[in-house]
Amino acid sequence: MSSLSPTAKIILSFLRLRPRSGYDVRQAVGVSTQFFWGASFGQIYPELRRLEQAGLVELESEGGRRRRTYRLTAAGERTLDDWLRDDEDFLFQYRDEGLLRLFFSDLTDPEAALENVRRMRQWREEAAAFFRAEIQPHADEDVELGYKFPRRALDFGLVMLEAQAKWLAELEGELTAR
């Protein structure tokens, strides 16, 4: 495999932590990377087949209800390590429909612009609270297992959300004062 898809990177990384089924990978994504790099069942299962055909993962066991557990092969270990050490520029994509609406807010009335800013702020505040209540316990478990960087990624997300919420609250105040 000359280049890894984003989903392949997620799968190989989660399989290095421990063998998993496609379902297990999706569950792990749901409480971790989903908030900055997602992967759906529709992406995971075909990618697992491609990785298996490429010799990067292999079937470890097959359980009931067609549950197949995979593990990394030596080639998969090397491929993952190559990606983790790669010096290519990072792909950065930030998609935020609220920010897109903010950008074009001059094209609507002030009340609609204010409401969009308010909703953006509320969403960030709610997301930060959700991360603390629902995601942080998983990240703390990872730290106990010796994996400190999932918690670091969570902290990054919380700092980003809280800074954005603060900025949006200031903008909301400016728009309300007008």
pLDDT in tens, 35-59: 888 888 899 999 999 999 999 999 9
What's the pLDDT tens digit per position in 134-170? Answer: 999 989 998 999 999 999 999 999 999 999 999 999 9
* CA–CA distance, 76 with 52 (Å, rounded to integer): 9
In this prediction, residue 2 carries a pLDDT of 55
Chain centroid to CA 124 = 16
DSSP 37: S
In this prediction, residue 107 carries a pLDDT of 95
DSSP H stretches of helix in the chain? 6-17, 22-30, 41-53, 74-85, 97-103, 110-130, 136-144, 149-177
DSSP 91: P
In this prediction, residue 31 carries a pLDDT of 85
CB 10 within 8 A of CB 33: yes
Instruction: Please give the structure tokens belonging to residue 155.
Output: 């902290």
Residue 146 CB partners (closer than 8 Å, separation 6+): none
What's the pLDDT tens digit per position in 62-91? Answer: 877 678 999 999 999 999 999 999 888 787
In this prediction, residue 176 carries a pLDDT of 95
What are the φ/ψ torsions at residue 107 (nearest 5 degrees)?
-90, 5
In this prediction, residue 161 carries a pLDDT of 96
In this prediction, residue 3 carries a pLDDT of 85
In this prediction, residue 93 carries a pLDDT of 78
* CA–CA distance, 79 with 141 (Å, rounded to integer): 27
Average pLDDT (81-107) is 88
Q: How far apart are the first and last CA of the chain?
A: 57
Q: SS3 for 133?
A: helix
In this prediction, residue 77 carries a pLDDT of 96
Instruction: Please give the structure tokens belonging to residue 64.
Output: 């009931």
| pLDDT band for position 92 (cuts 50, 70, 90) | confident
